[in-house]
Each structure stands twice: as structure tokens, then as C-alpha cells.
Chains A and B, each alone.
Chain A
Amino acid sequence: MRKTFLMQNPSVLWFISLLAVFTIAVTLMSEATGVSLISTSFIKTLGKTLCLCLVAIAMDVVWGYCGILSLGHFAFFGIGGYAIGMWLMYARTETIVAQSLASQPIPPTSQEISDAIGNQIFGVVGSSEFPMIWAFADNLFLQLLMVVLVPGLLALVFGWLAFRSRVTGVYLSILTQAMTLALALYLFQNDSGLRGNNGLSGLQNIPGFEDTSQATISIVFFMASALALGAGYVFFAWIVSGKMGSVVKGIRDNEARVRFLGYHVESYKLFIFTTTAVVAAISGALYYPQAGIINPGEIAPIASIYLAVWVAIGGRGRLYGAVIGAAFVSLLSSWFTGGGAPDINLGFYTIQWTDWWLVLLGLSFVAVTLFFPKGIGGLFDYLVRKQP
């Protein structure tokens, strides 16, 4: 059965092969193998980009295939990051605290350890108490479960409320944006229990692997991200092909008609919304240990809109389009804003790309929407059409 699935979707096979070649090539050229053609920081950038590609695929499925322009999927991404960040920060602080308390004349009680950890983590917001939401932070397995459960439940409840009352189109987009804004504002508060606008930091230090070099850790995360992207690609390609894909695309094009065919449209939307939210959270959980820090600014509504921009530029309604868009725009963006692009001297004015990149992005986005609604992925249609 799997064989026929891959046979029927050659693009999946192509994608997986390319991803595998890319991953192996990058790994071989990394500092971890001693070749050192690619710096550790660039490996991290590549690993992060792969995670962004994964969340872009999720966005593409919910928007390009199901027609729900969610402006909240980056919030799920952020929740995944926060969930894993809580464990990373707790476990690491615990190690540090244990070391510092070990030199004391009498051994510390569990309460003293907990107080010391709380003080370390929450001192910055003037507190030392562990809030309720940190209840599972000491247990990697439970906290990994939280990575999936928290955004999953949030998406389930929000989606159920929204789809049940038949909020669609731009209304739904605005509503998801409001949800994202509410979440970001909540996290900005100092008493949110997640360190307010300080966010969680030091996430690049993996507890238990203090002696492993960042070069090795980065390559492990890079490979994990590649694996997750590959798995996510196959998973979503499987979902959107076949009958499920038919129904989902039908909902996108004419929701009422699908309903009159006897399909419970709300369940399908909820399934897609929740599944993609969970995948977004998983990619966030892989992204933030590579980024090292997460704060509420990452969750702000603008991030979710950028996600939609990537997918639109890459070409929605095709999974590889989302990957291309996310990789292309995010890498280009860091090249421009990082000062990589040369300034252009017009004689009377020098265009500094750090200032003008967003203007360029905004305008090119308008151009893509107007003139290339199929995005970069649309170019493949030309190639395929010319071949036979």
C-alpha cells in the first residue's frame, strides 16, 4: 500500500530523496565530522530553517488545502517551544543548583532544591514560586507530552468553538489572530508563570549533555529536524492525497456542497486544524533548542502572518511549495537583515538593506499575490508542462 502511495505521488519520493541527500551532505561538511566546511552557527540556521519548513507545511495544509487562513499557527509553534523550553530550563537549572548545593555541610532537602531552582528561574520576574503550569517540567516524558497536548487541546477547543458557529473566511482569520494576540499578551505578563517578556533562555544547553560540544548537538538537532520534516511531509502528503484530500479540498472550494454530500464539515476542519497545530508545536519544540531563547515576541500575530507569507510565496496547495517558500524567504530574510546583502549607492541615497528589506518583502508579497498566485511552486507547473 505504501508503495502505491509513493508511486502515485512522485513528488514525495523526490522530496524525501533530496532531503536525505541534503542532510547527509551537510552532516559530512559540518564541524562535527571534522571537515568544518559549514560552521556550527550555520548548521543551526539550517536546522532552524528545516523546522520552519515543517511548520510551513502544516500551514499549507490548513490554508492551501483546507482553506482556513489561520493566523495562529505560529502561536502553536511557540507553545511547542515553550513546552520543551520549560523542561530544558528546569533540568539545566536543577543540575546547576545541585552542584552549588553539594558543597554545603549538610545535604539539601527537596524543598530547598526546589526553592533554589525557582529562585534561579523566576528571580528575574521577582518571584521564586513555581506556578502550576510547571508541574510536569521536571519530567522530560510528561513535558514532551505537553508539547503535543497543550497546543492540541487549545486548537481543539478553539476550533470547535469557531467551526461550530460556522465562522469562516476572513472572520475566522481575524478570530485566530485575536487568539494569537491574546496568547502573546498573556505571555508578556510577568505573572504568567513563564518569565514575562524575558522568555526562556539558555535552551541550547541540553541537560545531560553538558560535555558534548555544540557542534555535535547542532548536528544532532539538524538531523532530527530533517527527520521530522521528512516524516511530516510524508504524513501530510498521505493525508491530502486520497479521499481525505478530496474532501478537504472540497471544503476549501465549496463548504456547503460538501455538507450536502453528507460530510460533517466541522469534524474535518477540526481534524485538520488540530493535526496541523500539533505538527506546528513539534516543529517549535525542535526549533527553540537550536535558537536558544524564546520570548513572547516570537508568538506575536505578525509571526503567524509571516508564516502565511512564506506559504503564499512558495505556492500554496502543494507541500513542496510551502517548503520552498519557508526556506527561501527565511534564509533570504536573514541574509538581508544580517547585513549580508551589499548596500546600493544611488548617489543621492544609499539603500541599506537592513532598513529596506521589509519594504521589499512587503511589496514583493503584493506582487506575488497579484501576478503569481501559484507562487514559486507554480514554476514547476511550467517545467512539467514543457517536458512531455
Chain B
Amino acid sequence: MIRLLVLALALYLTAPPAGFAQSLQDVLQTHRDEVLKPGRRSVGIVLDDLVASGLPQALPFLEAWRDREIVQRDSDGLFFRARKQSLYDLDTGEVIGVFEKNNLTASRPNGGVRRAIANALVQFQMSDPDIVKRRAAVDAVARSMDASQLEPLAASIDAEADAALKARKSRLVSMLRALFEDTTNARVEAINTLAGDLSVDVRAVLNKVLASEAGVAAKLPDNENIARVLEVGEDITAENAYAWLVEAELAPPLVSNAQIRDALLTNINSGMVGTLPVAALNTEAARALAYDQLAAEGLAPPRVKEAERANAIAEHVFYLAYTEPDPAITDAAQKALTAIETKVALSQTVDLGLDALSLASIYFLAAIGLAITFGVMGVINMAHGEFIMMGAYTGFVVQQFVPDYTVSIVVALPLAFAITFAAGVLMERLVIRHLYQRPLETLLATFGISIALQQLAKNIFGTQARPLTSPEWLDGALAFNDVIAISYIRIAIFALALMFLALILFVLKRTRLGLEVRAVTQNPGMAASMGINPDRINMLTFGLGSGIAGIAGVAIGLYAKVTSEMGADYIVQSFMTVVVGGVGNVWGTLAGASMIGFLQKGIEWLYPSNTLAAQTYMILFIILFIQFRPKGIVALKGRAAAD
């Protein structure tokens, strides 16, 4: 019936028929009593007629009615809208007088009626010419998921002009039909159309169909739609199984240690409980003995013995039963859900892969500078993390002066490179140059610089985290479906990492500097005798490595917080990346970064709630990995590898 009405309404909206010369007041007057004192049943007639009238002013009336703003004039029985001390005509919407409480009677629809009115409103709105209102109406249906909304929603599909909204409506209809359709076949059919949809609400609908309740009985009931039978010890613990029995009143409750204690406490009789002195009640066995005596005297409920408990459990069967009685429907839903979950799992794997990829690019950016200095000069730079921090703070300072975020990032990247390049060259000239051939001491000296720089940053910028805001066009995420999404900022970092990979490969393989760097790496003495100045090469290499750390700092600062300790967070991972990848090789660093990135995401996926555990296990894995490939993934072989 409602379907017909909505059809009529839809017809009216597309081509308003001229035959209706009725006014809203007329319609209301024919149902005068029902409008004034609407009941849950009687209101239906009024609503049907209102919809059938096809009057546009019915919509504001319904809203007013729902909001309890409709009043009847006692003298002539006409209805008006009362709002802010004024009376409005329902057909024209104009003010026709002031609100006087004495000669007006308010219509007071109760909760049930107001829900019915709201539903009718949805029907109106579903076919509203304004797409914003239609969207809002669809949202409302999606929120409430009520059986009554199925028909108006379904009826509005054909006339829907907007393709996206139409798709959404038909999906919503499928979901509603899966839940509320009358016949098994229709529901199964609707469920089948849902298969393959990854969205959370579809999964919620299917889970609702598949909702189950725990049950326990002496023998598996025939009249229930059994989801599965639970094995005690495997699917359910013995404690829980017995608790179900107690709840179903199929077994007496256990007597807890606390209850035993309370019972003993209330029955102390001149230092004795039963035949036992109080002082002897310091073991559970003694207490049990005393309690059993009380129970024998009827002073306490008897204890459930271990054997009784086991018996009770053994004599019953524990199961989960679907609340939906029709197995055909639950089977179909189960099948659809399994299919969806497989797809979701697949998508999640892809999503995890993307996450890991972006983490790997961050590690690559953080570690590549370190790898260059370590590989070329054999120098461990413990202050590398602080160069990352310097880069990030450079970004922060630039944003204080350049308010436009896009421009500030464009300025910050080269500036960070320049500053950390200079810092690196300075450090090489002042400290590291004097410590070649003493790698352990370089490690310690650069560590000294690291603590000094860290504290310096703390003194200048304070201990609280400083924001580095990304430009607006980097906000948001690229979504492939309901599960796979990657934020633009991570894509940008990935692109940055690729750029640097290409740049470094180019510098090392295609330029004069790269040639000289490789010569110095392989044989400094020979390189020097061929006119290459190793001092200059070392200086430039160190500058380059530090400069890249600065750029990495800006990139990391964009998605993480800028603090004086941020360098320390990345230094160990960066070392791991270099060591795992293999020293002195750009591809090795890439391999190391990928491995650590994917590994970390993988472990985080296994231990979703515990990132600390994930990090712990990752480090342990790396320690073991070094056992099997002490020279890293990409290892140099032969004589070159011997020290």
C-alpha cells in the first residue's frame, strides 16, 4: 500500500497533475480527530491521505507536527502552526495572528506517532527535488535500518536521477531486504547481491543476520538453527562451560573460596568452626573440611565437587544457535560473509603492503645518508639522528616566517639540505678527519656531538613537540576501496625516497664525483696517487650524507612530531637498515629498508595492540639475521670484503 502511495507521490513530483485542487486544511479537516489526538494506528490513515494529496505544504506540516507545533482553534476547528507566539496558515505559510493559549488546543503526538511521522517524512524527503535532502534522508535510513523504510526506499530508486545516490539506494535496499524481506528466497537473493561488497555496513548487516546466542542443553535441540557445537576444552574453557550451566540453571553454582571464607567467618563459635580450631584454617584443604561440616549441618550450600562439575559438563552439549531460524538464510549469509572476508583479508594485505612500503621509504631516507658515510668512509656517525632533527627544526623555523605551507616546504627542503650539509662538513673537518682508522673512537666522538646537539635543541626549542604542518594538498588519503587507503603524505615521502634513490645512483654512477667517491672507497691510497684528493672526497661525502639526513628530517617531521629526541628514535633503525642491507651499497640500503619496513609492519599486524613488543621482536629478528648474513643482504665478496 505504501508503495502505491509513494508511487503516486513520485508521479506527482515528476509531473504535477492538475486534478488536485484540494488544500492541506481540507485534508486535515477530514481527519480532524485523528490530527488532534493521533494514535499509533489511526495516524496511518492521515499520513496516507497526506501523501496521496501530493501537496508540497504537507512536508512543513509533517515537520511541524513531529515538533509538536500544530494547534487547533477551538472556535472553528481549523489547524494552524504555532511558533514563537505567532500563528501560521498551513497552506500559505503566512502569519495570521498571535498565539493565544486560551482558545487553542495543541496536538500532542506521542513517541510512537512521532516515529511514524518521521518515517513519512523520510518518504517525502527520499523523493525531494533537492539532492542534499535526499542524501540526508538516505543517511537517516542507513542509520536506523528499519523494516518500514524498505518500501519507500525501493520505490524511490527508479526516479532517482543521481547515479551515485541511486547505487547507494539500491545497495541500502539490498541490505534492508536481506534483513526484512518476507520470504526466504527473497532474502537469500538479497544476501547474494551483497556478496563482494567490502563496506563495513554490509558486513554489519550480514553479522546481524548471523547473530548467534550461546545455548546449553542435555542434547542438541532440533528446533534451533545451530551455528556450531562447542567442544569443551577447545572452543570453550571448562570454567566458562560450567558458568553457562549455572546461568541456565542446569547446575548448582560453584562455591568460591571467598564464599567459603565468609561462611566460615559467620560460623565461628568460640574459636572453633565445626570441629576445627580457627588457627588451623590456614590452608584451603582445612577450610574445605570445615565448610563441608557446615554444609552437612545445613548452614551453607554444599560444595560442588570436581567430579560433579565434570559430570555436569559431560552430560550437556554446548552450542551457538543463530537467532535467525531459517538455515537457508544463515547459510547464504555465512557464504557471503566468508567471500567478503576473504576479499577484505586480501585488501588488508595490500593495505599493509602499502603501509610497509611507506615505512620502508622513511627508513630508506633516514638511513641512506648514514649508509653513504659508513660505506665510503667506514665512519659511524652517531649524530646522524641529530642531523635528521636539525632538518625537521629547520622546517619548523621556516614555517614561522613563511606562512604558506606549500612555499615553506619548498623553501625548507633545500635549506635543510644546506644547513645539515654545512654541519656535516664542519663536523668532518673538526672531528672526524682526525679519527680515521679509529672507527670505535669516531663512534664515541660523534656520540658526544649527538648529546650536545640534542641538549642544544632542547635549550633552544624547549622539550615540547613542535608542529611541522603539511600543505593542504597533502591532507587526505588515496582510497582504492573501503579497506585500501594510503595518505598523500606517505605517497609524497615514497616519491621523495624514489627521487633520492635515483639521485644518489646518478651521482655515484654517472658523475665525476661519484667516480672519485667509488675510487676512494675501494682504495684510498691508489686514488690519492691518481690525483684524487681523498680529503675533499671525504668532506663532500660526509656533507652529502648529512644533507640527505636534513631532507629526511623535513619529511619525517611532516608526519611525526618534531622533538629534540626524534633523532634518537630513528638512529637505531637506521643502523639496522644499513647493517642488514650490507655496507657500501645503495641497493643494500634499499633492501635493508624494505626488509625492516615490511618486517615491522608484519609484526605490528601480528601484535596489533603492542607496538613495544613489535619493536622488541624486530630487533631480536635482526640480531638473528646478522648471524646468518653477517655482511648484510647485499654483501661484497672476495678480497674486497676482507676488512
| Most chain A CB neighbours (cut-off 10 Å) among B434, B619, B620 | B619
A244, CB-defined interface residue at 8 Å? no
Kindly specify which of A3-11, A221-229, A361-369 makes contact with the partner chain: A361-369
Within 8 A of B (CB), among A70-123: 105-112
- Other A-B contacts than A69-B440, A109-B282, A182-B616, 14 sampled, CB-CB below 8 A, are A105-B265, A165-B627, A170-B439, A174-B579, A185-B616, A189-B613, A358-B451, A359-B451, A365-B448, A366-B449, A366-B452, A369-B435, A370-B431, A373-B441
Q: How many A-B pairs with Cβ below 8 Å?
A: 153
Interface string of B161-188 (1 = CB under 8 A from A): 0000000000000000000000000000
Q: Is B270 on the interface with A (CB-CB < 8 A)?
A: no
A106 to B268, CA, bound (A): 9
Given contacts A109-B282, A109-B287, A370-B435, contact A363 B452 (CB under 8 A): yes
- Contact between A181 and B572 (Cβ–Cβ < 8 Å)? yes
Whether A185 contacts B612 by the Cβ 8 Å rule is yes
Does A109 lie within 8 Å of B619, measured CB to CB?
no
Q: Which residues of A contact B439 (CB under 8 A)?
A: 169-170
Looking at B111-119, B455-463, B587-595, the stretch in contact with chain A turns out to be B455-463
In contact, B455 and A369 (Cβ under 8 angstroms): no
What are 22 sample pairs from A and B whose C-beta atoms fall under 8 A apart?
A105-B265, A106-B273, A106-B278, A107-B278, A107-B282, A170-B440, A170-B443, A173-B380, A174-B576, A175-B623, A178-B623, A182-B615, A186-B613, A189-B610, A312-B444, A361-B451, A362-B447, A362-B451, A364-B448, A365-B448, A366-B448, A370-B435
Residue A188 is within 8 A (CB to CB) of chain B in the complex: yes
Say whether A171 faces chain B, with CB atoms less than 8 Å apart: yes
What bracket does the count of chain B residues touching chain A fall in?
35 or more
B630 contacts A111, C-beta separation under 8 Å: no
Enumerate B81-112 residues with CB–CB distance to A below 8 Å: none
Dominant secondary structure of chain A at its interface with chain B: helix
Flag whether A308 is at the interface (Cβ < 8 A). yes
Q: Does B269 contact A (CB under 8 A)?
A: no
Distance between Cα atoms of A167 and B628 in the complex (Å):
11
Which of B279, B441, B443, B575 has the most chain A CB atoms inside 10 A of its CB? B443
A-chain residues with CB within 8 Å of residue B623 when the two chains form the complex? 158, 161, 175, 178-179, 182
Task: Name A329-388 residues within 8 Å CB distance of B.
Answer: 355-359, 361-366, 369-370, 373
B contact set with A: CB distance below 8 Å: 257, 261, 264-265, 268, 273, 278-279, 281-284, 287, 380, 431, 434-435, 439-441, 443-445, 447-456, 458-459, 568, 572, 575-576, 579, 610, 612-613, 615-616, 619-620, 622-624, 626-628, 630
Count of chain A residues near B, Cβ 8 A:
53
**How far is A301 from B450 in the complex, measured between Cα atoms in Å?**
14
A185 touches B615 (CB 8 A): yes
List residues of chain B with CB within 8 A of the CB of A358: 451-452, 454-455
Given contacts A165-B630, A361-B451, contact A178 B613 (CB under 8 A): no
Q: Given the complex of chains A and B, what is the CA–CA distance between A132 and B459 in angstroms? A: 44
Chain B residues contacting A189 (CB-CB under 8 Å) are 610, 612-613, 616
Query: How many Å from the CB of B49 to the closest CB on chain A?
Result: 62
Contacting residue for B445 out of A182, A356, A365, CB 8 A: A365
**Does the CB pair B455–A359 fall under 8 Å?**
yes
- Bound Cα distance from A139 to B43, whole angstroms: 79
- Judging by beta carbons under 8 Å apart, are A167 and B451 in contact? no
Structural contact, B445 and A369, CB atoms closer than 8 A: yes
Name which residue of chain A comes closest to B281, CB basis.
A106
A366 to B448 alpha-carbon distance, docked (Å): 6
Q: How far is the CA of A302 from the CA of B450 in the complex (A)?
A: 11
